[in-house]
Each structure stands twice: as structure tokens, then as C-alpha cells.
Amino acid sequence: MIAFDFQVTWADLDSNAHLKNSRYLDYAAQARFLFLASAGFPPQAFAEARMGPVVFEDRVEYRKELRLLQHFSVRMQIGGMSEDGAKFILVNEVLNPKGELCARVVTSAAWFSLETRKVTPPPPALKTAMEQIERTADFRGL
């Protein structure tokens, strides 16, 4: 399973002294880009291909608090993908050190051409990398 480790920083906190809601989205996005870079698609590769991800919807379910300096991990699975790989659903689960679910971020997205300004299939190597992500139990074709 793909997972990345993080730690709550001072800047991550809201007025209730726990991880603020927008930071769950930030850490989910960071995990996705860390995965893409590890699969051979760092930011420079997207710039050269004149394409990148576009998010249609993020849905966050909150379960448990995370507090200052607490360690946590962000796990990534794929919940759906179109046959050509252009559209996809990524599921990020934020887990505390005990493995308890703190939040789930479900992101509906697509690959977007910066030249045509339209959804586009990814390069074959990127599609293959996306197909290697562990599927959720309810994975579906889009």
C-alpha cells in the first residue's frame, strides 16, 4: 500500500488546536504528488508534457483529531478510473500512529491538457503507474 508520513506543524492548527480542515486536503495532495514523483512524474515531467491534474471534487470525512507535533500517515488508493485513464478517483486515508482513521479524502479528478484546455488521457507510463495503485474494495470504472 502506498503511504507517506507527516507531522502536524504549528501552521497546520486551527483555533481549536487541531489540524485545520484545509490541511487535510493539502496533505492528501502532497501524498499524491510524492507518489507521482516516485513513479517518474515529478513536476518537471508534467511541465514538459504540458499537462497536469485537475480536481473536480474533494470530499472529506473527519473522524478523529490530530494535534501539534503528532505524527500521521496518508495512505492512497484508487477508487475508480476511466478505461483511457483520463478520469480517476483517488482515496486518501489519514491515519494516526495507532492506525486509526482520522479522515478520508475522496478526490474526483482528471488529467488536463494545458494546450487544448481539455481532459486528456495520460501518457502510457503514467496510466500504467496509476493502474498499479491499490484499488479500493468498491473500485469502479468511470
CA atoms within 13 A of residue 33's CA, in its CB half-sphere: 14
**102 neighbors 66 (Cβ within 8 angstroms):** yes
What is the per-residue pLDDT for 1? 83
Domain ranges of the chain: 2-137
Bridge partners (DSSP) listed for residue 91:
77, 106
Per-residue pLDDT reduced to its tens digit, 35-56: 999 999 999 999 999 999 999 9
Measured at the alpha carbon of residue 18, what is the angle toward residues 14 and 23, in degrees to the nearest 5? 65
Tell the CATH superfamily of the 2-137 domain. Hotdog Thioesterase (3.10.129.10)
**58 neighbors 107 (Cβ within 8 angstroms):** yes
What is the per-residue pLDDT for 67? 96
In this prediction, the residues of the chain whose per-residue pLDDT falls under 70 are none
Nearest to 88 by CA among 45, 35, 40, 38: 35
CA-CA distance, 133 to 140, in Å (whole number)? 14
What is the per-residue pLDDT for 102? 98
Identify residue 119 by its one-letter amino acid code: V
Mean pLDDT for all residues in the chain: 96
Stated length of the chain = 142
pTM: 0.93
